[in-house]
Amino acid sequence: MTARQNLLLAALPASDLERLMPDLKLVSLSSGQPLYQSDAPFRHVYFPIDSIVSLLNVAQDGVSTEMAIVGNEGVLGVSMLTGGGARSNRAVVLSGGNAYRLNGMLLQAEFHRAGRMQHLLLRYMQSLLTQIAQTVVCNRFHCLDQQLCRWLLMSLDRLPSNDFVVTQEFIASILGVRRESVNEAANHLKQAGLIQCSRGHIMVINRLGIETRACECYGAVKHELDRLLIH
């Protein structure tokens, strides 16, 4: 497990990464683990390696909806760079795995060096805003089957395999729908031979079929991420 398995850290010059390495701590994240709570200050940022974290907006009645997911393409906690010492949303581990944790003050200091890290973080923040905006559009205009396909593809892009542990109840909570609705949408994909699912477990067996059924939102988000972070 190396820091360069995170795409943001991998894009840093060797000297910049070496400066951060003594303070980067490899930590294990468990599925369902809350990393940030609404309106609570936080001290650390996380660079996922093989884990995925869901950013959730929580309404006053407790209903939550996913705004974005963060995996090995990015960093969790960028609001610290804009003066956001506390968050108005939650961050919950969607798929357990590993991440490198860094004191947020050290990331701020690296950002204000105005070097490669600043350039990468600004581009990543732009891609994250695109993902949030596209998620709003998807939730408003596209059917649940399409939303589930988009979500599956975005998760797969951030996982080392096509097999991950997640309950339909958790998917329902992040999509802001009833569990029965997720069960129905998942059954459509299962009957089409695109996924296999059991209690707390989903395996995608035909990614191309999932891509065919997904709406344009997945492609729009992926294109923007590739444009901003790879080039």
Cβ atoms 94, 31 nearer than 8 A: yes
Distance CA 153, CA 158 (A): 9
Q: Give, as one character, the DSSP assignment of residue 81.
A: G
The pLDDT confidence band at residue 200, using thresholds 50, 70 and 90, is confident
Of 49-53, 60-64, 103-107, the range with the lowest mean pLDDT is: 60-64
Q: Which architecture characterizes domain 143-227 according to CATH?
A: Orthogonal Bundle (1.10)
Burial of 128 (0-12, 13-18, 19+ CB in 10 A): buried
- Which residues are registered as beta bridge partners of 153? none
Residue 143 has pLDDT above 90, yes or no: yes
Chain length of the chain: 231
Nearest to 159 by CA among 59, 67, 73, 41: 73
Helix (H, G, I), strand (E, B) or coil at 59: coil
Domain spans in the chain, listed from the N-terminal domain onward: 3-137, 143-227
Distances (CA, A) of 136 to 41, 83, 106: 26, 24, 32
* Position 199 confidence tier, pLDDT thresholds 50, 70, 90: confident
Please tell me the predicted confidence (pLDDT) of residue 88: 61
Res. 61: pLDDT tops 80? no
Range of weakest confidence among 49-53, 146-150, 153-157, 226-230: 226-230
Q: CA 40 to CA 210: how far, in whole Å?
A: 37
- We find that the CATH architecture of domain 3-137 is Sandwich (2.60)
- Place 144 in a pLDDT band, splitting at 50, 70 and 90: very high
